[in-house]
Amino acid sequence: MSTEIATTVKNEEWKASLTGESTWVRWTLIALALGYLTLFLFVPLAAVFAEALKNGLESYFAPFQDPDTLVAIRLTFIAAALAVPLNLVFGVAAAWAIAKFEFIGKQLLITIIDIPLAVSPVISGLIYVLLFGAQGWVGPWLIEHDIKIIFALPGIVLATIFVTVPFIARELIPLMQSQGREEEEAAFTLGASGWQTFIHVTLPNIKWSLLYGIILCNARAMGEFGAVSVVSGHIRGLTNTLPLHVEILYNEYNAVGAFAVASLLTLLAIVTLIVKTVIERKSGPAQSAHDPAWSPQPGSPS
Amino acid sequence: MSIQVEHVTKRFGTFTVLNDVSLHVQTGELIALLGPSGCGKTTLLRILAGLERPDEGKILLHGNEVTDRQITDRRVGFVFQHYALFRHMTVAENVSFGLRVLPKAQRPSPDKIQKKVNDLLALVQLQAMADRYPNQLSGGQRQRVALARALAVEPKMLLLDEPFGALDTKVRKELRRWLRRLHDELHITSILVTHDQEEALEAADRVVVMHQGRIEQAGTPEEVYEHPATPFVYRFLGDVNVFHGRIAHDETVHEEMERELPPGADSSGEHEVTFVRPHDLELSPTRTTTAQLEATVRFVIAAGSRVRIELMSKDSSQTIEVELTKERYRELKLRQGDVVFVHPKQQQTFRMPGPSSG
């Protein structure tokens, strides 16, 4: 027994010294990494809750009794509830097309998908104002037919969709490319239709990346500030989303209220990440797409 | 089911992968498509399966044209080089996939599917692995699962794309013998794509040697090995010594070479290349009427069932490989640096267009 322990310890020592770095170098690097995480991630996150709870629970919950806050929450959820499913369908379709087929204009499509990441969100919002605003291209026609897009819910949803387009597609493309087409081809030769192949073969292989893409997309949809700020018009109780509401409260020197609403957004983000981790754990190792044993098989040389 | 490939041409961009290929496969035959990478053999297989479409030509299965038919209508079993097992399904789920995606009317009952899966797993000797996931299996086991999966839909033909290419030599040998026995039991028309000549010669009824998108030669393993139709086939099937006409310095050998040429051939302006297999070369310690080519022994590799000897020709400094039986080697008492005289027992000469370009 004791010899066993001795060998383990020796192994650990051997592993630790594998790279030949001295102890102080290792500890300095670890300390640097932890310090960085604390300073830039943990402290700000803690500050949000500390500020929000500064004056006790009563003042913490006060902003949530405000009808304007409730409207902002509702609006944020509506925008995300529309943007995420639409981008889910588009992202999967685009990734499937890009990863599994060759067609003219493929590079162009990849570039277009990336545009929302490259362009400042304010400009993304402005695009819609230029298109649908009173002085915009189709603005007069919209006014004539009494359709409101800018400074209304449709504009907010459109801007949210625009900025969240890349998240799911970007998450899926590299994975689907590395998985190749062989499994789909095998399914075809076994008599499966295109739809059956997608449901039974493609989808199970990408589900974890897909889930991760949805979470990123959702986080961005709920948290988007710049683009939504341009198209919403900041009408209190009408076109204010949660991030815009936080800003308004803060500008009114209602720091506690601002941080309380901000903590709600933060909680939403944390909850989605916890849900993801739980689902991943429950699915078991053999099926996880992130299982190292599932790293892409070597490409066919012939 | 018989397979007819008629004048099939396939291009990828400007590159012609298959150039006017025609091939007939009889019902129940096991054919090997043999050739180096990039010769078009895999593309031909994928065209047969319906995974690619030919630019020109026709595919007939059992006399019916299927060139434009969907993959699903062809009843083809396809086995991929890298297995292509569904990684999120167990072995049993993989094997039953083809049955589970059948339209409701044709789909067997769950009990029947279960029984079929058990039978197939017994056939590939993997009953104990039914609940494992593919990543818990070895390469050889995975490929057997892939084969069981392909057989589950009772295909009329079986297409195997370098099925043992990713496996180590020992497993490969076992599996190709096993495949041959399986074929003798089931008699499914099968096409095996491989770049391993040993695999092709050992497993197939007929070997089709391909090179640069064309069929160089088709015949029984014995035919293609003993009577290669082209210099390429000679080189590709086994080791060979190539003499670029320089051997003509030697009168005797030259006469033999002449005999191999077609009657009435005018050899002027054309280059002659003579091929001799290492085991078709005989060595003698002294110059005789037949053994005239002088060479020096450079290496002797005595490990293995036969002794391989590397010689250097005195005239051309060319390397010559010779394979001798152990008995003959002991008789000759060869050592590094010895001078010997080489005599071909069997050879074949090809005429190449243009002088000395081969």
pLDDT per position as a tens digit, A257-289 = 899 999 998 888 888 888 878 877 876 544 444
> Are A187 and B97 a contacting pair at CB < 8 A?
yes
d(CA B86, CA B79): 13
A286-295, B36-45, B104-113, B190-199 — which is least confidently predicted? A286-295
Mean pLDDT confidence for B141-159: 93
Better-scored residue on pLDDT, B190 or A3? B190
Q: Best mutation site among B37, B82, B132, B192 for testing chain A: the one with the most A CBs within 10 Å?
A: B82
B86, B104, B129, B191: best to mutate for the A interface, most A CBs within 10 A = B86
Top residue of A189, A207, A208, A291 to mutate, by most chain B CBs within 10 Å, is A189
Question: Does this complex have an ipTM over 0.85?
Answer: no
Question: Quick one: which of A174, A127, A178 has its CA closest to A155?
Answer: A127
Cβ-Cβ contacts under 8 Å for B97 (sequence gap 6 or more): A187, A190, A192, A200, B86, B89, B149, B152
| pLDDT mean over B59-77 | 82
The answer to whether residue B44 scores a pLDDT higher than 90 is yes
Beta bridge partners of B18: B10
pLDDT in the model for residue B121: 95
Nearest to A287 among B83, B88, B152 (CB): B88
| Nearest CB partner across the interface for B101, out of A182, A191, A297 | A191
Report whether pLDDT(A293) > 80: no
Does B77 contact A at CB distance below 8 Å? yes
* A79 neighbors A243 (Cβ within 8 angstroms): no
pLDDT above 60 for B254: no
The pLDDT score that the predictor gives to residue A7 is: 53
Q: Nearest CA to CA, how far is A196 from chain B (Å)?
A: 7
Task: Name the pTM for this structure.
Answer: 0.77
The answer to whether A194 contacts chain B (CB < 8 Å) is: no
Question: pLDDT value at position A297?
Answer: 38
pLDDT score, position A150 = 87
Give the separation between CA A242 and CA A219, rounded to whole angstroms: 12
B217: tokens are: 């030669």
Average pLDDT in the A16-42 region?
87
3-state SS track over B9-28: EEEECCEEEEEEEEEEECCC
* Contact status of B143 with chain A (Cβ, < 8 Å): no
Nearest chain A residue (CA) to B100: A192
Per-residue pLDDT at A16 exceeds 60: no
Q: Which band of pLDDT confidence, cut at 50, 70 and 90, is reported for residue A54?
A: confident
**A208 with A217: CB under 8 angstroms?**
no
Is B152 in contact with B96 (CB distance < 8 Å)?
Answer: yes
Q: Which residues of chain B are within 8 Å of residue A194 when distances are taken between CB atoms?
A: none
Across the range A61-87, mean pLDDT stands at: 92
Rounded average pLDDT over A224-249: 89
For residue A236, the model assigns a pLDDT of 82
Residue B268 has pLDDT above 50, yes or no: no
For residues B194 and B37, give the distance between their C-alpha atoms in angstroms, rounded to a whole number.
9
B81 in A contact zone (CB under 8 Å): yes
With 50 as the cut, is the pLDDT of residue B305 above it?
Answer: yes
Contact residues on chain A for B162, CB-CB shorter than 8 A: 302
Using a CB-CB cut-off of 8 Å, the residues of chain B touching A186 are: 78, 80, 84-86, 146, 149
Across chain B, what does the average pLDDT equal?
85
More confident residue, A196 or B286: A196
CB pairs under 8 A between A and B: 86
Between chains, do B77 and A189 touch, taking CB under 8 Å as contact? Answer: yes
Lowest mean pLDDT among A145-159, A282-296, B24-38, B241-255: A282-296
Q: What pLDDT sits at residue A283?
A: 64
**Option in B71, B83, B102 nearest A188 (CB):** B71
Instruction: Note whether B135 contacts A186, CB cutoff 8 Å.
Output: no
Residue B52: partners with Cβ closer than 8 Å, 6 or more residues away: B10, B43, B46
The reported pLDDT for the residue numbered B255 is: 39
> Is residue A203 less than 8 Å (CB to CB) from chain B?
no
